[in-house]
């Protein structure tokens, strides 16, 4: 029997407003079941809807064509990453699993301890060999306890996206090298109320800024945890210097009115609507300009994050797209799932997907691709090769991942600006948060 069902949800980064029971009901229908708990229905593939719909549509078509060729029934469910994570949580708890689920590095760290992600170390080795190896960030993120239970597909990063035309008109020939220089430059270039200098969110719903302020903190020598990945490191002189500079930027008046209410669409919209000169973001606004204001796309510059006083600068690297094959107990479907994922790593397929998408590949064998001739794209390739991982200067960990929902850097930023707390008080609050969190994981 042949049959394809594709579903797509395009809402941006919204959380499910449902109860756990409703989430369970949503995933239970049509999912695989661990032997003894129910019957197999079809091959289920859960994927993320991204900000580059052409790449999503292309990938879905590859899956559809593969299914027709194999004569198998496949259901492709494509939703926002937040929704996929909620569905996967319910699926893991109920043991009602899809055959393949897309995972980013956060999802992988969270769900790997369940034991329901298949060990794909053999595939990781084979695919890496075929492509000339995975980039180091992808290899490190995919490897837990010496093996891989996910296959990284793309590496993304947040970089400085800015209106280069405004910089050039203002006599600024290149993007500022340090955070302090950047804030001062944007102050000089902005023309309120028409447009402001910097589009960072100061709102807990705007989690993009957690990464922004995290990279800024590292450049000042500050971090939440020491290099041993176990010891909290919040109360330091470096943290205080970082927060002092961040508070100075707030006092400069370079942020548009309303940043205290922005969600993760706020910074994108500010750049797209010309309300901010610079934001720190993945490539999604570039996709938007390509599709909606193509005449402005060449005027958008891309740069790595600025440096701190020591001259050190840091860019994040994380797995945006990866694949986990789930332990459904159905060997036939497991074999088919492996074959399908290998198909997505086919050289022609993978290269075309990268052409349509905006992140960098997880593999090193695509540096001859024509897309890197575009400096906007090349910036993301550079970050994929050299970016730091969550938890730096330590390693990614379940404990550090557990801090994510608390957005500790963003929390301190809000406290010292919006809430007018003294810097020491904001540091003390997050110091307790980090210590309490790590006490649950590090014995």
pLDDT beyond 70 at 375: yes
Looking at the structure, tell me whether residues 11 and 152 fall in a common domain. yes
pLDDT beyond 60 at 5: no
Q: What is the CATH number of the domain that holds 294?
A: 3.40.190.10
Kindly report the backbone phi and psi dihedral angles of residue 368, in degrees, each rounded to the nearest multiple of 5, phi listed first.
Answer: -90, 0
pLDDT beyond 70 at 118: yes
Looking at the structure, tell me whether residues 245 and 300 fall in a common domain. yes
pLDDT, average across residues 3-15: 39
What integer pLDDT is reported at residue 31 of this predicted model?
57
pLDDT, average across residues 72-92: 93
What confidence tier does 82 reach under pLDDT thresholds 50, 70, 90?
confident
Q: Is residue 391 part of a domain?
A: no
Looking at the structure, tell me whether residues 339 and 411 fall in a common domain. no
**Structural domain count of the chain:** 2
pLDDT beyond 50 at 78: yes
Q: Is residue 44 part of a domain?
A: yes
Strand partners, 7: 77
Q: How far apart are CA 237 and CA 250, in angstroms?
A: 20
Kindly report the backbone phi and psi dihedral angles of residue 153, in degrees, each rounded to the nearest multiple of 5, phi listed first.
Answer: -115, -40
CA 303 to chain centre: 18
pLDDT, average across residues 107-124: 95
Residue linked to tokens 């910074």: 267
Residue 404: both structure tokens together: 């994510």
Cβ atoms < 10 Å from Cβ of 113: 11
Of 175, 143, 139, 82, the closest CA to residue 387 belongs to 139
Strand boundaries in 13-110, DSSP class E: 32-33, 43-48, 73-79, 96-97, 100-102
Q: pTM for this one?
A: 0.81
pLDDT beyond 60 at 38: no
Looking at the structure, tell me whether residues 50 and 199 fall in a common domain. no
Average pLDDT, the chain: 90
Looking at the structure, tell me whether residues 149 and 214 fall in a common domain. no
Q: Is residue 386 part of a domain?
A: no
Domain with 200 in it:
159-314+397-441
Q: Is 402 exposed, middle or buried (0-12, 13-18, 19+ CB in 10 A)?
A: middle
| pLDDT above 90 coverage of the chain, percent | 80
Looking at the structure, tell me whether residues 349 and 417 fall in a common domain. no
User: Is residue 321 within 8 Å of residue 58, measured between CB atoms?
Assistant: no
Looking at the structure, tell me whether residues 255 and 146 fall in a common domain. no
pLDDT, average across residues 294-305: 95
Q: How far apart are CA 270 and CA 167, in angstroms?
A: 17
Looking at the structure, tell me whether residues 362 and 257 fall in a common domain. no
What integer pLDDT is reported at residue 39 of this predicted model?
41
Q: Is residue 380 part of a domain?
A: no
Q: How far apart are CA 417 and CA 179, in angstroms?
A: 17
What integer pLDDT is reported at residue 32 of this predicted model?
58
Q: Is residue 276 part of a domain?
A: yes
Looking at the structure, tell me whether residues 293 and 272 fall in a common domain. yes
pLDDT, average across residues 56-64: 96
pLDDT digits (tens, 9 = 90+) for 201-242: 999 998 899 999 999 999 999 999 999 999 999 999 999 999
Q: Is residue 225 part of a domain?
A: yes
What integer pLDDT is reported at residue 42 of this predicted model?
84
Q: Which residue has the higher pLDDT, 6 or 254?
A: 254
Backbone Cα Rg of the chain: 22
What confidence tier does 19 reach under pLDDT thresholds 50, 70, 90?
very low
Looking at the structure, tell me whether residues 14 and 134 fall in a common domain. yes
Of 137, 125, 79, 82, the closest CA to residue 380 belongs to 137
Cis status of the peptide bond prior to 393, with omega within 30 of 0: yes
Q: Is residue 228 part of a domain?
A: yes
Looking at the structure, tell me whether residues 292 and 427 fall in a common domain. yes
What integer pLDDT is reported at residue 8 of this predicted model?
42
Looking at the structure, tell me whether residues 230 and 340 fall in a common domain. no
Of 335, 349, 369, the closest CA to residue 59 belongs to 349
pLDDT, average across residues 248-267: 96
């Amino acid at each position: 029997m042949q049959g394809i069902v594709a579903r797509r949800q395009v809402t941006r980064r919204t959380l499910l407003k449902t109860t756990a029971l409703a989430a369970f009901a949503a995933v239970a229908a049509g999912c695989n079941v661990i032997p003894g708990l129910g019957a197999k229905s079809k091959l289920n593939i859960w994927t993320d809807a991204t900000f580059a719909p052409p790449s999503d549509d292309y990938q879905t078509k590859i899956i559809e064509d593969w299914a027709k060729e194999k004569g198998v029934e496949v259901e492709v469910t494509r939703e926002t990453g937040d929704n996929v994570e909620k569905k996967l949580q319910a699926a893991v708890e109920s043991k009602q699993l899809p055959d393949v689920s897309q995972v980013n590095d956060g999802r992988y760290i969270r769900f790997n301890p369940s034991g329901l992600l298949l060990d794909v170390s053999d595939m990781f080795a084979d695919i890496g060999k075929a492509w000339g190896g995975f980039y180091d960030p992808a290899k490190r993120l995919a490897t837990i306890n010496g093996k891989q239970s996910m296959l990284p597909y793309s590496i993304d990063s947040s970089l400085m996206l800015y209106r280069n035309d405004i910089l050039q008109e203002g006599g600024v020939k290149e993007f500022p090298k340090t955070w302090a220089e950047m804030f001062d430059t944007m102050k000089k270039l902005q023309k309120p109320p028409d447009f402001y200098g910097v589009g960072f969110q100061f709102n807990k719903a705007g989690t993009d800024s957690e990464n922004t302020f995290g990279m800024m903190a590292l450049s000042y020598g500050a971090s939440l945890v020491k290099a041993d990945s176990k010891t909290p490191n919040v109360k330091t002189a470096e943290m205080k210097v970082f927060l002092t500079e961040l508070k100075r930027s707030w006092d400069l008046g370079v942020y548009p009115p309303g940043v205290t209410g922005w969600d993760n669409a706020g910074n994108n919209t500010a750049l797209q609507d010309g309300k901010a000169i610079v934001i720190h973001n993945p490539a999604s606004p570039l996709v938007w300009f390509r599709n909606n204001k193509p005449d402005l796309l060449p005027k958008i510059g891309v740069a790595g994050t600025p440096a701190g006083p020591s001259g050190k600068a840091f860019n994040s690297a994380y797995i945006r797209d990866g694949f986990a094959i789930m332990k459904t107990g159905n060997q036939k479907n497991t074999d088919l799932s492996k074959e399908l994922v290998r198909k997505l790593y086919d050289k022609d397929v993978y290269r075309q997907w990268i052409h349509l998408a905006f992140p960098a590949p997880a593999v090193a064998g695509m540096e001859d691709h024509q897309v890197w001739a575009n400096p906007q794209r090349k910036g993301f390739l550079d970050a994929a090769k050299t970016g730091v991982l969550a938890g730096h200067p330590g390693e990614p960990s379940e404990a550090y991942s557990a801090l994510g929902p608390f957005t500790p850097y963003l929390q301190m930023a809000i406290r010292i600006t919006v809430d007018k707390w003294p810097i020491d008080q904001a540091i003390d609050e997050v110091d307790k948060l980090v210590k309490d969190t790590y006490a649950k994981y590090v014995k």
